[in-house]
């Protein structure tokens, strides 16, 4: 096949430039990527050899646009790798990641390119540039300096080697985690073991067993829609213990072990930070974060810890009391979710399973669309005339109220063995300049939520609906982006700001005005009764201390791995135990780790950034107070949030954008007020 006919290179024949999944094959990626890299390098050579004085037009603009094709190909690959791929496809990352890393380093370590960017940066006020162009130049300059442009040749070479190695380790970590998750199943033909487990989960377990060629019985997996309900509801303590121990062992030992990968990654990250003149990886990473310094992050986590820890202890004491009535003298990790559900039922006469019938997944999707309509005037229309990468994927055209096209929106909700765990939002094509014109984005949300069974549609838990609202918040950020240059487009903003648009959306789910729009019983069509809504509202801050402490422990573990010199760590478990000991409420489960499956920091972009969830929660709690004071569907405030935050991408510093929206800096105690802890 000639390169011009490669479906990853030639223009998409589909409307809105939709990805031609029906044509793309595994063997297309490497030739397409190599072609795209050569094309980009040719443009960069022209920039370097141009003897005219550096200007935005002859330097910043071609540097911004030269990698368009390369980015499209890599996004397509990595999005498919996460959502729909086998091990052969995943192995391609060991070729693709180093090529991308080498290209990035070839740019950032090139002294001629840096000289031109430096000239632009130092003369930024002399050129007739608009605010976004100035931001592009200053972010480009910062990118060069943070990636080694000021280093000598020997150190530049060291950075190249480190980046190449890191580029292989991260996808390998994710591949191992998925394989280890898929490897384990628990099969039983003893119905008594299923006591307490919700009927829908039991039906799924029966279908899973059939798919694995069992004539009868039930099979549970470590995928969330199977694992979590067992931990919350199974009366059989031994079953809970078995699954809990297996979950804790994901990628810890065995053929999919991640321990050496972690040790290599943290050592390499530290070494790179040192070469670049920073104390450690956290110090390096926080240069492009709202928090700015390790001290700020640690003070923030400590402030929350002082409130969450005593609150979590009290909550646990209440659970222990319930457990003792069942003859459990010492609560273990596999008891907490179970007794948490029991306590919630006792306190609020409320069981999450009561809500499932009202949360048919199709109705929930309709619900998020209605919310977006009321807030931003958006309209969603399902289409079937563009390709998808799996038959379960739905695609929607998104339009403004006036009919203008805004985005294509892909939704992929249910687990598969070919899909990574968790939930995420991504772009197949970000908004911004592409082939000379500003294009609208192709946005996707991917999840692992409760699938349908033979006799019931997909009925979601409240937490799963919350996940949809969260990821939809990210999706809106991507869809509503309104910038010129793709590298500044939403949601590519500072990492501790990126969760604000997602986490603020979760607030709408707890409100009657929202639930009344879509929470209808899947059989009767009855709108969710007020008494159930009241129970949801009353129980919203239930176990806020325990859940907050859990997030803090992950944030503290992340910072421990990335502050100081971790290169001498020999024992992953020992290091982890010491890092989170002060957050531990229950006895340590021997033979388990968190780190070996913590994809956010070893397989994703959250290294020295996991604190961002709580940081952004402080922002979203403060922002939602503003909505609550004026009406949650207040058009004027929604419009301000859209114009000042969602549309802006990284065209301004995050705090400036927030203050323009809110009129003041956020109140850090808003989160603790919402949790009813102060």
Contact present, 229 and 197 (Cβ < 8 Å) = yes
- 122 classed as catalytic: no
From first CA to last CA, the distance across the chain in angstroms is: 65
What is the C-alpha to C-alpha distance for residues 513 and 453, in angstroms, rounded to an integer? 30
What element of type H or E holds 382?
Answer: strand 379-383
Contact present, 163 and 179 (Cβ < 8 Å) = no
Cβ neighbourhood burial of 360 (10 Å; 0-12, 13-18, 19+): buried
Instruction: Count other C-beta atoms under 10 Å from residue 347's C-beta.
Output: 12
What is the distance of C-alpha 14 from the center of its chain? 28
Instruction: Count other C-beta atoms under 10 Å from residue 504's C-beta.
Output: 24
What is the C-alpha to C-alpha distance for residues 137 and 571, in angstroms, rounded to an integer? 44
| E strand spans, 175-227 | 185-188, 218-221
Contact present, 480 and 641 (Cβ < 8 Å) = no
Q: Which of 68, 71, 315, 471 is an active site residue?
A: 471
What would the two tokens of residue 352 be? 């999450």
Task: Look at residues 234, 338, 344, 336 and name the one whose alpha carbon lies nearest to residue 584.
Answer: 336
Q: What are phi and psi of 447, to 5 degrees?
A: -145, 180
Contact present, 478 and 378 (Cβ < 8 Å) = no
Q: Which DSSP category does 53 fall into? A: P
Q: Can you tell me which residue has the tokens 């201390």? A: 545
What would the two tokens of residue 272 be? 């790179």
What is the C-alpha to C-alpha distance for residues 340 and 448, in angstroms, rounded to an integer? 23
Whether a cis peptide bond, with omega within 30° of 0, leads into 562 is: no
Contact present, 579 and 556 (Cβ < 8 Å) = yes
What single string gives the DSSP state of each residue in 27-40? GGHHHHHHHHHHHH
Contact present, 609 and 599 (Cβ < 8 Å) = no
Task: Look at residues 289, 287, 314 and name the one whose alpha carbon lies nearest to residue 300.
Answer: 289
Residues designated catalytic: 471
């Amino acid at each position: 096949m000639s390169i011009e006919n490669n479906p990853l290179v030639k223009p998409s024949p589909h409307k809105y430039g939709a990805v031609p999944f029906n044509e793309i094959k595994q063997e297309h990626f490497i030739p397409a990527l190599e072609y795209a890299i050569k094309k980009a390098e040719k443009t960069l050579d022209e920039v370097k050899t141009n003897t005219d004085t550096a200007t935005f037009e002859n330097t910043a603009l071609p540097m911004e646009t030269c990698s368009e094709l390369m980015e499209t190909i890599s996004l397509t690959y990595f999005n498919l790798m996460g959502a729909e791929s086998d091990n052969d496809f995943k192995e391609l990352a060991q070729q693709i990641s180093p090529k991308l890393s080498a290209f990035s380093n070839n740019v950032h370590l090139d002294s001629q390119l840096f000289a031109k960017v430096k000239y632009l940066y130092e003369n930024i006020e002399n050129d007739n540039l608009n605010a976004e162009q100035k931001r592009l130049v200053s972010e480009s300059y910062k990118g060069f300096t943070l990636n080694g442009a000021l280093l000598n040749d020997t150190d530049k070479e060291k950075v190249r080697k480190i980046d190449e190695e890191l580029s292989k380790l991260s996808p390998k970590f994710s591949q191992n985690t998925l394989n280890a998750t898929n490897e384990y199943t628990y099969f039983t033909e003893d119905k008594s073991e299923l006591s307490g487990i919700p009927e829908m989960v039991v039906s799924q377990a029966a279908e899973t067993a059939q798919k694995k060629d069992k004539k009868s019985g039930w099979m549970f997996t470590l995928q969330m829609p199977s694992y979590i309900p067992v931990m919350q509801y199974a009366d059989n303590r031994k079953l809970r213990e078995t699954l809990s121990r297996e979950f804790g062992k994901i990628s810890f030992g065995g053929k999919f072990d991640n321990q050496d990968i972690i040790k290599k990654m943290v050592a390499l990250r530290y070494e790179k930070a040192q070469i670049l003149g920073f104390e450690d990886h956290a110090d390096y990473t926080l240069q492009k974060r709202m928090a700015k310094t390790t001290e700020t992050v640690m003070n923030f986590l400590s402030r929350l810890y002082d409130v969450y820890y005593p609150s979590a202890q009290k909550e646990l004491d209440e659970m222990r009391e319930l457990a003792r009535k069942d003859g459990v003298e010492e609560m273990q990790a596999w008891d907490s979710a179970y007794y948490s559900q029991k306590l919630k039922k006792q306190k609020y006469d409320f069981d999450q399973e009561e809500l499932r019938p009202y949360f048919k997944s199709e109705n929930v999707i309709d619900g998020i669309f209605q919310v977006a309509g009321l807030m931003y005037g958006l309209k969603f229309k399902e289409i079937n005339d563009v390709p998808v990468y799996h038959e379960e994927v739905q695609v929607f055209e998104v339009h403004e109220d006036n009919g203008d096209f805004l985005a294509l929106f892909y939704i992929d909700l249910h687990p598969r063995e070919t899909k990574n765990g968790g939930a995420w939002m991504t772009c197949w094509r970000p908004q911004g300049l592409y082939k000379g014109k500003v294009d609208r984005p192709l946005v996707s949300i991917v999840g692992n939520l409760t699938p349908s069974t033979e006799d019931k549609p997909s009925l979601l838990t409240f937490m799963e609906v919350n996940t949809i609202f969260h990821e939809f918040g990210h999706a809106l950020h991507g869809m509503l982006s309104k910038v010129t240059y793709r590298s500044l487009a939403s949601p590519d903003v500072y990492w501790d700001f990126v969760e604000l648009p997602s986490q603020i959306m979760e607030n709408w789910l707890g409100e009657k005005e929202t639930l009344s729009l879509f929470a209808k019983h899947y059989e009767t069509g009855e709108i969710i009764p007020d008494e159930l809504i009241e129970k949801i509202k009353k129980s919203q801050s239930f176990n806020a201390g325990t859940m907050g402490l859990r997030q803090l422990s992950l944030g503290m573990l992340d910072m421990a791995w990335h502050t100081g010199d971790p290169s001498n760590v020999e024992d992953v478990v020992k290091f982890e135990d010491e890092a989170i000991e002060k957050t531990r409420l229950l006895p340590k489960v021997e033979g388990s780790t968190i780190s070996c499956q913590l994809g956010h920091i070893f397989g994703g972009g959250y290294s020295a950034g996991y604190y961002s969830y709580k940081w952004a929660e402080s922002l979203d709690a403060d922002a939602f107070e503003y909505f609550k004071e004026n009406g949650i569907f207040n058009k004027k405030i929604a419009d301000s949030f859209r114009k000042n935050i969602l549309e802006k991408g990284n065209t301004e510093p995050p705090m400036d954008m927030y203050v323009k929206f809110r009129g003041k800096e956020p109140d850090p105690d808003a989160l603790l007020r919402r949790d009813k802890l102060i």
